[in-house]
Amino acid sequence: MTTYRIDPSATHVHVFTYAEGLFARLAHDLRLTVAPSELTATRDTSGKATLKGKIALSALTVDGVMKGDTLKTDVLSDKDRLEILERMRSDVFGGASPESAVTLEGTLEGTSLRLTVASPSGRTTSATAKVVGTSNDNGETVRGEVDLHLKEIAGHDVKGPLGAFRIGDRIRVTFDAHFVAEP
């Protein structure tokens, strides 16, 4: 059995949210970055891996607005970015503090990843994704994307200011996660 830990400097995780509703064109599709620091994987002799970890809400940052496939970093002010993160903590994570964490548990077998995400309030969402894994002398990398359900995490529709639009239930998480073996 081999145990791995995440290498934050070589890992990239992005969360994409999509605005929906009558006034969605006035809202923004967003890209956020997650800086995972507490994530481990254990691989057994059959090749199956078990993942466990926590991601502090303070590890979320708003990168900017997505216009099609293009990230626009100059659309939102620093104040806008802070307000978005505060609304997320309030509306999605039930008023959780930045120190609160989302927990992750999953299994990776071949190219199939089964992932469960739990909010600080205990609400969960699960999904399965196809991934690509590579190994080298520096560790193992897993790349893929998974769609999660925001309503399952929040427990309700998440709406924008004054209810003018809502954040779509589907949020996409893309990841390029690099793990190094523990000595």
Average pLDDT score, the chain? 88
Spell out the domains of the chain, with CATH numbers in brackets.
Answer: 2-181 (2.40.128.110)
8 Å CB contact between 76 and 64: yes
- Residue identified by tokens 């089964």 is 114
Spell out the residues 6+ positions from residue 130 whose beta carbon is closer than 8 angstroms to its own.
111, 112, 113, 144
DSSP 119: -
Sheet order of strands, 19-20 included: 19-20, 166-167, 158-159
Q: Rounded to the nearest 5°, which phi and psi values hold at 118?
A: -120, 130
Between 6-10, 24-28, 33-37, the lowest mean confidence (pLDDT) is in 24-28
- pLDDT for position 40: 93
Give CA–CA dist 103/52, Å, rounded.
Answer: 8
Give CA–CA dist 178/97, Å, rounded: 28
Those residues whose C-beta lies under 8 Å from the C-beta of residue 115, and which sit 6 or more positions away, are: 51, 104, 105, 106, 126, 127, 128, 129, 146
In percent, how much of the chain has pLDDT > 70?
Answer: 92
pLDDT of residue 163: 65
Q: Which of 17, 25, 116 is nearest to 64 (CA)?
A: 17
- Reported as a single tens digit per residue, the pLDDT across 78-89 is 999 998 898 888
DSSP string, 64-117: EEEETTEEETTSS-HHHHHHHHHHIIIIISTT--TT-EEEEEEEEETTEEEEEE
Q: Which of 5-14, 132-141, 145-154 has the highest mean pLDDT?
A: 5-14
Q: Render pLDDT for 124-143 as a digit per residue (tens, 0 to 9).
A: 999 999 999 998 888 899 99
Q: What is the dihedral of CA 172, 179, 108, 16, to 10 degrees?
A: 0
